[in-house]
Amino acid sequence: MVVGSVARARTVLGARLLVLTLGLAIVIVPFVYMLATSFKPNSLVLEIPPKFFPDQPTTKNYVDAWTSNQFSRYFLNSVIVALATTFAAVFLSSMMAYAFARFRFPARKLLFGLLMLGLMVPTMMLLIPQFLLAKQLGLLDSLLGLIVFYTGGNLALNTFLLRSFFQDIPPELEEAMVVDGAGPWSRYRKLILPLSRPALATVSIFTFLASWDEFVWALTIINDPNRRTLPIAIALFQGEHSTSWGLVFAASAIAVVPVILIFVTFQRQFVSGLATGALKA
């Protein structure tokens, strides 16, 4: 009886692993094919019938993408925009989250409600008025225009996530500091921020990846080829050279690999932050 159930449990586990692995193969194949194509010589990317792996892999696409097609510049633009956005958005939203989590003041509910409006409104709806606003402010065609609007767009979610984390910090710690005469700013700096490193890491990763991958706003306000970020550079490049798939996927790999590295390294914060964010919304 006991032996039978052990054997049965093994069979069930085997079946689970089999189904999971088959499913995973389907999920992963497109990535593998992308990488395989990026190592093909350009004349071979649309052979008929297609070969999955190249016979003579070459790194030429990577060299070409990085040197002759300015992808190093686009990479740098993306780094600047994503880092500046992350810094500004996390700083501003941690301050707002502190106010919402630890102070009682008139209009608190109203202001928080308005902020949550920002979570519900589809970003695409704001595209036209934001474009006209950026035009008025002289922010079209500039990296600053990306940073300002990305920062504003990330505030609501970040504040929401950080607020719930700050609320869980025991108030006694802060009361002890008040007794010692510490003002609000030093409580925020010396108590709240240091205790919230995991939460700050989570929102930083979210913000960084969101601005790194952002496409529509950049496509809409950037015209100058020198100010392109990676997503628009890749998309436009494919439009301009419709058959250079090897080059497109080399550039894609350059853009995707940092994301995957960040994700795999920080995946615990990532997944837990995502799950709590979604379940608490």
Q: Which two tokens stand for residue 81?
A: 């925009």
- Closest distance of CB 263 from another protein, Å: 5
- Closest distance of CB 8 from another protein, Å: 11
- Closest distance of CB 206 from another protein, Å: 11
Looking at the Cβ atoms of 3 and 48, the one nearer to another protein is: 48
- Closest distance of CB 123 from another protein, Å: 8
- Closest distance of CB 68 from another protein, Å: 20
Is residue 174 a contact partner of residue 195, using CB atoms and an 8 Å limit?
A: no
C-alpha 244, offset from chain centre: 27
Looking at the Cβ atoms of 76 and 275, the one nearer to another protein is: 275
- Closest distance of CB 60 from another protein, Å: 18
CB atoms under 10 Å from CB of 256, counted, come to 18
Looking at the Cβ atoms of 49 and 194, the one nearer to another protein is: 49
Alpha-carbon dihedral 236, 222, 214, 160, rounded to 10 degrees: -170
Q: Which two tokens stand for residue 162?
A: 């950080």
Q: Which two tokens stand for residue 233?
A: 């550079």
- Closest distance of CB 173 from another protein, Å: 17
Residues of 86-100 as b/e, b for ≥16 C-beta within 10 angstroms? bebbbebbbbbbbbb
Identify which of 66, 94, 71, 54 has the alpha carbon closest to the alpha carbon of residue 199: 94
Distance CA(65)–CA(44), nearest Å, equals 17
CB atoms under 10 Å from CB of 77, counted, come to 22
Is residue 129 a contact partner of residue 135, using CB atoms and an 8 Å limit?
A: no
Phi–psi pair at 11, nearest 5 degrees = -60, -45
Looking at the Cβ atoms of 63 and 216, the one nearer to another protein is: 216
- Closest distance of CB 212 from another protein, Å: 8
Residues 6+ positions from 74 with CB-CB distance below 8 Å: 228, 229, 230, 233
Distance CA(225)–CA(6), nearest Å, equals 64
Looking at the Cβ atoms of 63 and 281, the one nearer to another protein is: 281
How many residues are present in the chain?
281
Is residue 157 a contact partner of residue 277, using CB atoms and an 8 Å limit?
A: yes
